[in-house]
């Protein structure tokens, strides 16, 4: 049953893992490689037996980005080849060249319906024009650098998107969601620092949630175009206590 189960979830916090198992520095690399090899062996069985992968979730806190990157690239190639539908990546790992860069093969995956990315680099400057999320329904980006051009690139390639969530993202000062997004019905904007303007023109928006811990940066919101469909509007400012 384990070999045929279509949902994978792997978690590794390097520091807590080594401390929990009392692993010393000399043994640390071997132990981490055993985890990485286990993930790859589990995925390779899908190739051997021609099984599909419905969902892949990876949460990993790793110090050495250069060591992790070739492993991650191979894993993603495997799951995309097995027509993964839900992809959730939380990769807390930084190297001299920044964060882990999402490879172009992911941005061209037509099978993905749910995409959740956290602390990654979308790498759209190198991969622009290849986004083919024709089946994407949900897009969630957390603690990432994005801008309006990136959002437009995504949304123009995702005609079926229903849910958009941006959490603690930076680099976005203006968010514009056009009327062409006919299926989009829920938007969540949480703590997107320096977001100044939110312009939503989607005709079927039902639920809008905007949360900002910095009350001095709360954005100006224009949702006049979706007034007839809107059923739930939540605007939350968390004020900090000062002396």
* Residue 1 within a domain: no
Strand 86-92, strand 94-95: pairing: unpaired
> Nearest CA to 232 among 208, 203, 198, 202?
208
pLDDT tens-digit map of 110-162: 999 999 999 999 887 654 557 778 899 999 999 999 988 888 888 888 889 99
CA distances from 141 to 24, 28, 47, 122, 231 (A): 35, 31, 29, 10, 24
* Residue 44 within a domain: yes
* Residue 173 within a domain: yes
Angstrom distance (rounded) from CA 6 to CA 118: 22
* Residue 242 within a domain: no
Average pLDDT of the residues of the chain: 84
pLDDT at 199: 94
Per-residue confidence band for 242, with pLDDT thresholds at 50, 70 and 90: very low
Single pTM value for the model: 0.87
* Cα-based torsion angle of the residue sequence 177, 178, 183, 188 in order, rounded to the nearest 10 degrees: 10
* Residue 243 within a domain: no
**Segments forming the whole domain that contains residue 42:** 7-237
* Residue 227 within a domain: yes
* Residue 139 within a domain: yes
* Overall domain count for the chain: 1
Exposure string (b/e) for 137-172, b if CB count within 10 Å is 16 or more? bbbbbbbbebbeebbebbbebbeebbbbbbbebeeb
């Amino acid at each position: 049953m384990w070999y045929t189960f279509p949902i994978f979830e792997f978690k590794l916090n390097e520091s807590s893992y080594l401390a929990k198992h009392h692993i010393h520095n000399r043994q640390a690399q071997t132990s981490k490689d055993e985890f990485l090899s286990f993930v790859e062996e589990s995925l390779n069985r899908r190739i051997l037996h021609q099984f599909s992968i419905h969902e892949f979730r990876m949460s990993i806190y790793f110090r050495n980005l250069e060591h992790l990157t070739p492993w991650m690239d191979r894993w993603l190639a495997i799951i995309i080849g097995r027509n993964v539908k839900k992809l959730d990546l939380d990769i807390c790992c930084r190297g001299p060249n920044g964060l882990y860069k999402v490879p172009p093969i992911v941005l061209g995956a037509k099978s993905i319906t749910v995409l959740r990315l956290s602390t990654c680099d979308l790498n759209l400057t190198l991969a622009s024009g290849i986004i083919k999320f024709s089946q994407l329904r949900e897009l969630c980006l957390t603690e990432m650098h994005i801008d309006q051009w990136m959002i437009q690139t995504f949304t123009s390639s995702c005609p079926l998107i229903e849910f958009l969530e941006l959490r603690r993202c930076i680099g976005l000062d203006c968010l514009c969601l056009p009327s062409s997004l006919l299926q989009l019905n829920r938007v969540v904007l949480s703590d997107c620092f320096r977001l100044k303007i939110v312009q939503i023109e989607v005709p079927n928006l039902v639920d809008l949630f905007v949360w900002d811990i910095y009350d001095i940066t709360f954005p100006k919101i224009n949702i006049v175009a979706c007034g007839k469909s809107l059923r739930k509007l939540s605007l939350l400012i968390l004020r900090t206590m000062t002396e």
